[in-house]
Amino acid sequence: MKIAFTDNYEDLSTERGYQFKFNCQRCGNGYLSSFKKSTIGTVSSAARILGNFFEGGERIASSSDEAHRMTAGKAHDDAFKEAIEEIHPSFIECPRCTQWVCHEKCWNDEKGLCKQCAPDLGVEMAAAQATRTVEEIHAHAQVAEEDLPSKVDWKGKRVKAACPKCKTPLSKDLKFCPNCGENLYAAKKCAKCKSDLTPGAKFCVECGEKVQ
């Protein structure tokens, strides 16, 4: 079997067993392989314990350590290959940048590229709007708070990077979530004055009514 991962993993193996952590080269998230117990390591530990009770134990432990050195290479390689087979389905190699990225967070299924090469447009639009909003706030820092709504389109449509209900990332500006069907732009109304509610608000900004 061809070993695909060569520079995006950490070897967490000890004499007790083998385990590897594979990292996404975009987001850095780590995926641990299942722990595989080492038979040689168990024998080596047992030999050291016996050495505390029997004369010549030092010689037994040395012999065990020598056996471990002779066989750990193949055992380690076999464990590594098994770990790759286990973790490989969670990773995809981007054909453009050749980085290994996690399928769950960093792969754009629609484009067939990693999100570094083909970002989700919905996420980028939301981030751009947020940046623009911050710039507008700084630009109007000297304006009285009650004058801001007349100068900034605070109630305009805001692109969402993820569904507020199920948190699914949105690849583009959509009206409904493709995962749970949530209406992404349905304006919530105040039960008392019927004014549009600001997303996440606990109280209505028009009448002060508590949001249920």
What does the pLDDT look like over 11-25, one tens digit per residue? Answer: 999 888 999 999 999
Instruction: Say what the pLDDT of residue 27 is.
Output: 94
Is 89 within the bounds of a domain?
A: yes
Cβ-based neighbours of 46, under 8 Å, separated by 6 or more: 64
Both 84 and 163 in a single domain?
Answer: no
Q: Which of 206, 175, 174 is nearest to 190 (CA)?
A: 206
191 band by pLDDT with thresholds 50, 70 and 90? confident
Is 42 within the bounds of a domain?
A: yes
Residue of 110 and 136 predicted with greater confidence: 110
Q: How many domains does the chain have?
A: 2
Instruction: Say what the pLDDT of residue 154 is.
Output: 41
Q: What is the pLDDT of residues 111-134, one digit of tens each?
A: 999 999 999 888 888 888 888 888
Q: Which of 21, 6, 32 is nearest to 100 (CA)?
A: 6
Confidence (pTM): 0.57
Is 102 within the bounds of a domain?
A: yes
Cα dist from 20 to 41, 45, 137, 174, 209, whole Å: 17, 22, 47, 39, 54
Is-contact 55 72, C-beta < 8 A? no
**pLDDT at position 84 over 50:** yes
